[in-house]
Structure 1
Amino acid sequence: MLDTSFPLIKSFLFTLATLLPFLNPPAIAPIFLSMTEGASQEIRVMLAKKVAINVSIMLISTMIIGNAILALFGISLPIVRIGGGVLIMYSAWNLVTASDEKSNDSSQDNSMSLEKANSKSFYPLTFPVTFGPGAIAGAITVGVSILDENFSNALLKFSGAVPAILLATFTLYICMKFASQMLNKLGESGTAVFMRLSAFIMLCLGVQVCWAGVQGLVNTFL
């Protein structure tokens, strides 16, 4: 029984260990909070659920067909990293330079908050902030690991990978859902400073991802 279930358990642990650092739920929480500034808690919970579902679907899809799609279009992982890094830098720069001024019309703020939340559920919160180049590369790596000439083993590996993805995205959902509660103790000014700092870290992450892509391209010519 242990020998039969070993590929499933191994695939579960491998998938979780591969994807969780790329998703990095604790680091996403303050970024999520800053990008949903002005939204009510109910809207944030709704948005957190949408983002988690989107990330789950994209991780599973990329795991299954990601490598084939990149090969079909002739896109290399370094190019994915550069493109994703540029998008992350663009999103982070908008946060860093965002105005602190708020409208005095609370009803208009709530309406706009819902509209903006829906518009941000995929871009940029799902992609590229959460499901970025690192997560894409990780999902493709997991997809390669589940390939097996033995169909039963491949099925067991796939059956282990999917629950691991769901667990990772559920952790992401919990961190986003309770992001405001985690930062409440900082106070209004402290939270504002922390959000700006998180945006700057996100900007640096985008530069790092883009640089990794440039290094990957350079290495292909050496």
Structure 2
Amino acid sequence: MAFYAGQAVMGVFGITISGLRIAGGLIVGFIGFRTLFPADGADDAPEVEHRSEELLRNHKRDIAFIPLAMPTTAGPGTIALLIGTAATLHDERPFSPWVMQLAPVLVFLLVSLILLLCLRSAGAIIRLLGHSGVEALSRLMGFLLACMGVQFVINGVVDIIQDYPLVN
């Protein structure tokens, strides 16, 4: 949806591709830094242990939304990337129109299948890697996300500089 209708929504709100890239980069970078440097667990403190046990006993399971993978697979950073890519491809038109209409759907299905396989095998992956391996992999992915976010911001700033050159 974001790929096909993104430019129309951006036009209604007056959002430029540069602004979208910078905002998307900040969001992706924020997620990456948060993954790279997780907050110290307040739940680990001894004072909190008794209250945590009490809350767990009274906790009702809400299955309306399980945020296991959704914030990073279909969050605002992903949407910003899709809209920016669609706008860039729309301007350049490197392929025939039918490819431009069919490719996003096929990529979506392929990525969905890969994500499904990864989530279905998460238990086996965790057992294979162990706690420290999962922690190391999470930090590595956080670093890569932070790098991607910074690059998105750089691309947005470069676009602004190219669109609005300084006049002396």
TM-score bucket of the superposed structures, by smaller chain: 0.5 to 0.7
| TM-score of the aligned structures, taking structure 2 as reference length | 0.66
In the alignment, the residues of structure 2 paired with residue 213 and residue 180 of structure 1 have an alpha-carbon distance, to the nearest angstrom, of 39
The 1:208–1:75 alpha-carbon spacing in structure 2 relative to 1, beyond 3 Å, is same
Question: Which residue of 147, 159, 162 maps to 1:204?
Answer: 147
The 1:62–1:82 alpha-carbon spacing in structure 2 relative to 1, beyond 3 Å, is same
- The equivalent residue for 1:71 is 11
Contact 1:82 1:214 in 2 (8 A): yes
* Contiguous gaps of at least 5 residues in structure 2: none
- Paired residue type of 2:133: G
Contact 1:81 1:133 in 2 (8 A): yes
Question: Which residue of 188, 191, 195 maps to 2:131?
Answer: 188
The 1:180–1:71 alpha-carbon spacing in structure 2 relative to 1, beyond 3 Å, is same
In the alignment, is residue 90 of structure 1 matched against residue 30 of structure 2?
Answer: yes
Within 5 Å, give how 1:1-222 maps onto structure 2. 61-95=1-35, 96-100=37-41, 101=43, 105=53, 108=56, 118=66, 123-129=71-77, 131-140=78-87, 158=101, 161-222=104-165
In the alignment, the residues of structure 1 paired with residue 61 and residue 40 of structure 2 have an alpha-carbon distance, to the nearest angstrom, of 15
Of structures 1 and 2, the one with the larger relative CO (CA 8 A, separation 6+) is 2
Greater Rg by CA: 2
In the alignment, the residues of structure 2 paired with residue 165 and residue 204 of structure 1 have an alpha-carbon distance, to the nearest angstrom, of 24
SS in 2 for 1:75: coil
Residue correspondences, number: 155
Task: Report deviation, 1:133.
Answer: 3.1
SS in 2 for 1:118: coil
Contact 1:78 1:216 in 2 (8 A): yes
- Paired residue type of 1:82: I
The 1:179–1:120 alpha-carbon spacing in structure 2 relative to 1, beyond 3 Å, is closer
- Paired residue type of 2:40: S
* Contiguous gaps of at least 5 residues in structure 1: 1-60
Paired-residue identity, %: 21
In the alignment, the residues of structure 1 paired with residue 142 and residue 155 of structure 2 have an alpha-carbon distance, to the nearest angstrom, of 20
Task: Report deviation, 1:220.
Answer: 0.9
Task: Report deviation, 1:93.
Answer: 2.7
CA RMSD, aligned part only?
A: 3.8
| TM-score of the aligned structures, taking structure 1 as reference length | 0.53
Greater fraction of residues in helix: 1
Contact 2:24 2:81 in 1 (8 A): no
Contact 2:28 2:149 in 1 (8 A): yes
